[in-house]
């Protein structure tokens, strides 16, 4: 069965066929569903699958980079959620000076993660996961 990478998480997706024999893909972790319709779309898909088969190793290298980027972005989203939580729920529990300090530390962590994204974009540190 032909396979393509999920464009969100790069997990390998196996091609399926609908009742009309049209190709489609489902990524369970992401919830993405990709339906290919039309003659040209099916031709483009076949061409993409052939290209991916020919260039399997470089794709895997890029998939690792994509995973690193997604991990950093996930961590940033988690920190932003913590910051929002600090500003609302913890108003009652923490004194202002502790909230402020925690907020500054979380902001600093986001800056560090953004620096890491910049390094990934420059192609540095690819061997680190």
| Chain segment 111-126, per-residue pLDDT in tens | 999 998 888 888 765 4
Give pLDDT tens digits for 45-91. 888 888 777 776 566 667 777 778 878 888 998 888 888 877 766 56
**14 HSE (CA, 13 A, CB side):** 3
Quote the CA–CA distance of 14 and 49 in Å, as a whole number: 11
9 has a pLDDT exceeding 90: no
Q: Are strands 32-35 and 16-17 parallel, antiparallel or unpaired?
A: unpaired
Q: First and final CA of the chain: distance in angstroms? A: 30
CB count within 10 Å of CB 81 equals 10
**Is pTM, for the whole model, over 0.75?**
no
Indicate the DSSP class of residue 74: H
Quote the CA–CA distance of 3 and 21 in Å, as a whole number: 16
């Amino acid at each position: 069965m032909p396979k393509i990478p999920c464009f969100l998480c790069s997990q390998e997706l196996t091609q399926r066929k609908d009742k009309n024999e049209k190709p489609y893909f489902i990524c369970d972790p992401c919830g993405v569903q990709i339906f290919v319709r039309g003659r040209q779309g099916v031709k483009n898909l076949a061409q993409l699958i052939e290209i991916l088969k020919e260039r399997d190793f470089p794709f895997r290298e890029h998939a690792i980079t994509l995973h690193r980027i997604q991990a950093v972005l996930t961590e940033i989203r988690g920190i932003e959620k913590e910051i929002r939580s600090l500003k609302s729920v913890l108003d009652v529990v923490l004194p202002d000076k502790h909230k402020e300090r925690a907020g500054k530390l979380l902001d600093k962590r986001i800056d560090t993660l953004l620096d890491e994204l910049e390094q990934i974009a420059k192609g540095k540190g690819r061997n680190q996961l």
